[in-house]
């Protein structure tokens, strides 16, 4: 990224980033509406299929997954097991790995804030909302990761959390809008994307994703911020419950994701390529890719938590742990009851496994220690948890198995 210390507004017209929407007259509108409706139906059906008590635990695992894949796109590979360790303040002795753990922990903190209603989609796309997401993320990132270097001059510049860049930048072959013009462009961005109906809003999430990156409002962190803004938009419009994430699909198709984003920087090709300054066909191609990735991720998550299959994987793990002496006998019975009911009052544990209170307490204690059960207090009901260390067994394919 090349930077110049220029903060003036050179008077660029906001039409430079048009089209922000796929035109109603476009041949792509019909198919995109169908994709948006399919995504809405599948996302709502998946959420409704989950017991309410399971939503929080699954969302926590998805946050770790989303963080892993979003950082992976940026070249930072911090496995969810190490992310989970960081959430418990258990850090690597290696300084760089520790910094990456802290970066991941910062990402999760911001997404949890979004998931809990900290910012709605209508606010997330405003200049204040975008800057707040960046501020919250960068304020928790280690100092060493807040510096960027100009590849040409080798000058190191510190990224200020939540502050729009005051320098002009070039990212690859793309020259971003001047620093001084950012407030105007961000204002237009919010005005367009903040006044859409549900179907148009879902379709435009992809366009908003690219146009935010095209503006490149910050010296660093733009990719993570753009994906968090997209997450907030989808969370709000689809009421996803935060139990699926587009980031996994984008990372698994990272080469295509980056290539299609770069194509969206291209100018309009001809009279059949929309009426804006930038290529509408390229924007449509990215929109199709983005919506299909969303649908694929909903389908994938739904396949992982199909009750019969999830039950079989969990009980197989419990049997193996019991055989190895890691869990007491009948531990699987408690897990099965929690999975079936959503939560289990502690007082009912003994009747579930057909044992005395003392044995039931021993089983529950062992499962809590394994972190496969959680509870809000020593007397509160038991709920299922999804520790990252067991995801490769319970939720295969969610992220790569750790090999070291």
The pLDDT tens digits for 319-364 are 999 999 999 999 999 999 999 888 999 999 999 999 889 999 999 9
CB 393 within 8 A of CB 63: no
For the chain, the structural domain boundaries read: 2-304, 307-394
- Classify burial at 93, counting beta carbons within 10 Å of its beta carbon; exposed 0-12, middle 13-18, buried 19 or more: exposed
DSSP-derived secondary structure letter, 180:
G
Mean pLDDT estimate for the chain: 93
In sequence order, the 6+-apart residues with CB closer than 8 A to the CB of 80 are 64, 65, 67, 68, 388, 391, 399
Q: How far apart are CA 139 and CA 126, in angstroms?
A: 20
Is residue 126 very low, low, confident or very high in pLDDT (cuts 50, 70, 90)? very high
Look at residue 151 in the predicted model and tell me its pLDDT. 74
pLDDT at 120: 78
The DSSP output letter for 170 is E
**pLDDT value at position 9?**
77
pLDDT at residue 403 in the model: 56
pLDDT in tens, 46-71: 999 988 888 989 999 999 999 999 99
Nearest in space to 145 (alpha carbons), one of 84, 215, 224: 224
Q: How much is the pLDDT for 10? A: 80
CB burial class (10 A; 0-12, 13-18, 19+) of residue 66? buried
CA-nearest of 368, 245, 89, 92 to 79 is 92
The pLDDT-based confidence of 404 (bands split at 50, 70, 90) is low
Q: pLDDT-based confidence at 7, cuts 50/70/90?
A: low
Give 2's Cβ-side CA count (13 Å radius): 7
Segment of 16-30, 139-153, 266-280 carrying the highest mean pLDDT: 16-30
Position 205 scores a pLDDT of 97
Q: By the 8 A CB rule, do 49 and 302 touch? A: yes
Q: 110-121: per-residue pLDDT in tens?
A: 999 999 999 876
In the structure encoding, which two tokens stand for residue 158, read together? 């510190």
Task: Give the CATH architecture of domain 307-394.
Answer: Orthogonal Bundle (1.10)
Q: Residue 172: helix, strand or coil by DSSP?
A: coil
Burial of 71 (0-12, 13-18, 19+ CB in 10 A): buried
The total number of residues shown for the chain amounts to 404
* pLDDT class of 122 with cuts at 50, 70, 90: confident
**Superfamily of structural domain 2-304:** Fido-like domain (1.10.3290.10)
8 has a pLDDT exceeding 80: no
Nearest-5° angle of CA 295, CA 343, CA 379?
140
């Amino acid at each position: 990224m090349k930077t110049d210390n220029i903060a003036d507004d050179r008077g660029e017209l906001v039409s430079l980033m048009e089209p922000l929407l796929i035109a109603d007259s476009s041949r792509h509108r019909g198919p995109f509406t169908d994709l948006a409706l399919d995504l809405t139906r599948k996302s709502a059906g998946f959420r409704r299929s989950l017991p309410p008590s399971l939503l929080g635990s699954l969302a926590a695992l998805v946050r770790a997954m989303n963080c892993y894949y979003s950082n992976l796109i940026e070249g930072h590979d911090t496995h969810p097991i190490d992310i989970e360790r960081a959430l418990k303040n258990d850090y690597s002795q290696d300084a760089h790995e520790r910094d990456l753990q802290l970066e991941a922990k910062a990402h999760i903190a911001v997404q949890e804030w979004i998931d809990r209603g900290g910012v709605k989609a209508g606010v997330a796309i405003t200049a204040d909302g975008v800057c707040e997401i960046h501020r919250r993320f960068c304020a928790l990132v280690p100092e060493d990761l807040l510096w960027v270097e100009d590849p040409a001059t080798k000058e190191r510049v510190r990224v200020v959390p939540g502050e729009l860049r005051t320098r002009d930048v070039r990212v690859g072959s793309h020259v971003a809008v001047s620093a001084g013009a950012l407030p105007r462009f961000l204002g237009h961005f919010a005005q367009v994307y903040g006044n859409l109906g549900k179907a148009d809003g879902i379709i435009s999430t992809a366009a908003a994703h690219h146009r935010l990156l095209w503006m490149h409002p910050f010296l660093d962190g733009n990719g993570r911020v753009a994906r968090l803004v997209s997450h907030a938009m989808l969370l709000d419009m689809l009421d996803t419950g935060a139990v699926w994430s587009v980031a996994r699909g984008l990372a698994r198709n990272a080469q295509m994701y980056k290539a299609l984003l770069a194509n969206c920087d291209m100018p309009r090709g001809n009279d059949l390529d929309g009426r804006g300054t930038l290529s509408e066909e390229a924007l449509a191609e990215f929109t199709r890719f983005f919506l299909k990735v969303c649908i694929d991720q909903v389908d994938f998550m739904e396949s992982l938590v199909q009750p019969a299959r999830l039950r079989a994987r969990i009980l197989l793990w419990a049997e193996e742990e019991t055989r190895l002496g890691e869990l007491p006998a009948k531990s699987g019975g408690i897990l099965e009851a929690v999975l079936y009911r959503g939560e289990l009052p502690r007082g009912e544990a003994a009747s579930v496994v057909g044992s005395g209170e003392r044995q039931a307490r021993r089983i529950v204690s062992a499962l809590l220690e394994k972190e496969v059960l959680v509870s809000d207090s020593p007397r509160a009901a038991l709920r299922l948890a999804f520790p990252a260390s067991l995801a490769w067994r319970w939720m295969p394919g969610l992220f790569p198995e750790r090999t070291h």
